[in-house]
């Protein structure tokens, strides 16, 4: 009888807190358990965390130590109940055994040799601030601990903990490959023919909010707009393919990988 999303429609947030008392959870180790864990992971998790756990929309799990899960029990609990306030849902559909199988499989990612990041972060920082011109559109943490940079693109202050080097490389050389929902390029053609172009901040049945590339917000009545056009391949982020040397690209990626939560 599951109803709907979040608030109840549907898809439903499940109340499973009664079974989440803090007990020590021991993860299985057999090949059979890991094989089942892989299948479950491929079905439920890989879409966001990547086939090899190296991140995408979700966190990079192919790291020696998971930032939010210091122990196996923490990991299992996060899989079970999700992380409130984030897009990480709870695996309400899995029984305890399956949760431990998935957790065991997730742990195997950490055993992979970390992806080689050959560049020099200090040199990469210079590319970021200089030739790359990245700060015009992206924010990072400045010396005073405050964010510094432009607001056109996503914040990068902890990007190294959230995205793999491979994902970052793709985003730099082919930025249109993966565009978040709130960065979809949208053009509204108004009744008077005026065109407003920018990224979509929000949209509902009656209104559309576009943040244009000059930094202005436009609240548009969809019912009176002549046309609304979305280009899921268009992004103001330029491709740096051929614009940066191989060394500069490696250095820039090494710098981005070094940007993590400092706590």
Partner 1 sequence: MRIPVLCLLPFAAVLAQVPYERILNARSEPHNWLTYSGTYDGQRYSALSQINSGNVGNLRVQWVQQSGHSESTQTSPIIVDGVMYITEPPNVVKALDARSGTVIWSYRKTIPDDLRLCCGRVNRGVAVLNDLVYYGSIDAHLIALDAKTGRLRWDTTIDDYKLGYSSSGAPLAIKDKIVTGIGGGEYGIRGFLDAYDAKTGKRVWRTHTIPGKGEPGNETWEGDSWKIGAAPTWVTGSYDPENNLVIWGTGNPGPDWNGDYRKGDNLYSDSFIALDADTGKLKWYFQFTPHDVHDWDATQVPVLIDGTFRGQPKKMVATANRNAFYYVLDRPTGKFLHARAYAKQTWATGHDDNGRPLVIAGTTPTIDGNLVYPSLAGGTNWFSPSWSPKHNLFYVPVREEGAYYFKGTAEFKPGTLFVGGGQRANPAEEPFGAIRALETDSGSMRWEFPLKTQASAGILSTAGDLVFSGTGQGDVFALHAATGKLLWRFKGGGGVIAAPVTYMLDGKQFVALAVGRALFVFGL
Point out which residues bind partner 1 (CB under 8 A): 1-5, 7-16, 18-19, 39-40, 42-44, 47, 91-95, 97-98, 203-206, 222-223
163: DSSP letter: B
Q: Which is nearer to partner 1, 11 or 177 (CB)?
A: 11
Q: Considering beta carbons, is residue 43 or 130 the nearer one to partner 1?
A: 43
Distance between CA 188 and CA 21 in Å, rounded?
A: 51
Compare residues 185 and 248 and give the one whose CB is closer to partner 1.
185
The span from the CA of 77 to the CA of 21, in Å, is: 9
Distance CA 70, CA 88 (A): 17
Smallest gap, in angstroms, from Cβ of residue 186 to partner 1?
A: 12
C-beta of 242: minimal distance to partner 1 in Å? 30
Between 125 and 200, CB nearer to partner 1: 200
To the nearest whole angstrom, how small is the minimum distance from the Cβ of residue 125 to partner 1? 34
In angstroms, what is the minimal distance from the CB of 39 to partner 1? Answer: 5
Query: Strand, helix or coil at 17?
Result: helix
> Could you tell me the CA-to-CA distances from 40 to 70, 76, 259 in Å, in that order?
22, 14, 31
Residue 118 in contact with residue 250, Cβ under 8 Å?
Answer: yes
Q: How far is the CB of 72 from partner 1 (least distance, A)?
A: 20
Alpha helices, H only, the chain: 31-44, 46-49, 72-81, 96-109, 121-129, 159-162, 165-173, 246-257
**Least distance (Å) between residue 261 CB and partner 1:** 27
Pick between residue 94 and residue 147 the one whose CB is nearest to partner 1: 94
Judged by CB, which is closer to partner 1: 207, or 243?
207
Closest among 25, 30, 174, 185 to 100, alpha carbons compared: 25
């Amino acid at each position: 009888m599951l109803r709907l999303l979040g608030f109840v429609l549907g898809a439903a947030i499940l109340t499973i807190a009664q079974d989440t008392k803090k007990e020590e959870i021991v993860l299985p180790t057999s090949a059979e358990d890991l094989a089942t864990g892989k299948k479950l992971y491929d079905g439920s998790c890989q879409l966001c965390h990547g086939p090899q756990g190296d991140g995408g929309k979700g966190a990079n799990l192919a790291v020696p130590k998971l930032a939010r899960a210091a122990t196996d029990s923490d990991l299992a609990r996060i899989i079970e109940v999700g992380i409130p306030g984030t897009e990480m849902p709870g695996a309400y559909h899995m029984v305890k055994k399956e949760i431990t199988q998935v957790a065991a499989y997730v742990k195997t990612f950490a055993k992979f040799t970390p992806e080689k990041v050959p560049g020099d972060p200090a040199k990469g920082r210079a590319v970021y601030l200089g030739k790359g011109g990245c700060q015009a559109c992206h924010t990072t943490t400045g010396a005073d601990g405050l964010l510094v940079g432009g607001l056109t693109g996503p914040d990068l202050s902890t990007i190294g903990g959230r995205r793999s080097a491979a994902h970052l490389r793709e985003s730099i050389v082919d930025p249109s490959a993966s565009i978040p929902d709130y960065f979809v390029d949208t053009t509204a053609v108004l009744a008077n023919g005026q065109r407003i172009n920018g990224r979509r901040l929000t949209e509902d049945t009656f209104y559309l909010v576009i943040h244009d590339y000059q930094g202005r917000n436009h609240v548009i009545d969809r019912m009176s707009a002549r046309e609304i056009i979305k280009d899921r391949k268009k992004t103001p982020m330029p491709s740096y393919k051929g614009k940066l040397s191989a060394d500069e690209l490696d250095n820039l990626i090494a710098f981005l990988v070094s940007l993590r939560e400092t706590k």
